[in-house]
């Protein structure tokens, strides 16, 4: 498996985590891969998501850059490592937010 797959997977983890938070808040799920937009929607429910704006900016280019098959350049290992760290940060943040308000929607 090339590094492309790892970057796409990390992007998808962050995207799905943000969508899970929005679903938790009973917000209609947006058909988008734009992580920055999803963070902005989450901020409407919890301003703590402001701290994820820079992380969203780091991951957002991967929504298109490596997702489609005609792209032939593999991301660098350092890009994959940064994507892993960033997506884990977003996932852990969302998990904490949902667990801290288990009955709140």
The fraction of the chain above a pLDDT of 70, given in percent, is 87
pLDDT for residue 90 is more than 90: yes
Q: CATH number of the domain at 3-100, please?
A: 1.20.120
**pLDDT at residue 65, as a whole number:** 66
DSSP states of 1-45: --HHHHHHHHHHHHHHHHHHHHHHTTPPPP----HHHHHHHHHTT
Whether 8 contacts 81, CB under 8 Å: no
Which residues have C-beta within 8 Å of that of residue 31, sequence separation ≥ 6?
A: none
Q: What is the mean pLDDT of the chain?
A: 88
For residue 42, count other CB atoms closer than 10 A to its CB. 26
What average pLDDT score do residues 5-9 get?
80
pLDDT digits (tens, 9 = 90+) for 38-62: 999 999 999 999 999 999 999 988 7
């Amino acid at each position: 498996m090339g590094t492309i797959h790892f970057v796409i997977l990390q992007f998808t983890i962050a995207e799905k985590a943000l969508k899970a938070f929005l679903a938790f808040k009973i917000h209609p799920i947006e058909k988008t891969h734009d992580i920055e937009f999803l963070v902005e929607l989450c901020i409407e429910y919890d301003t703590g998501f402001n701290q994820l704006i820079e992380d969203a900016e780091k991951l957002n280019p991967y929504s298109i850059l490596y997702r489609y098959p005609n792209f032939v350049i593999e991301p660098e290992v350092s890009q994959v490592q940064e994507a892993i760290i960033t997506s884990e940060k977003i996932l852990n943040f969302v998990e904490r937010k949902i667990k801290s308000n288990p009955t709140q929607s």
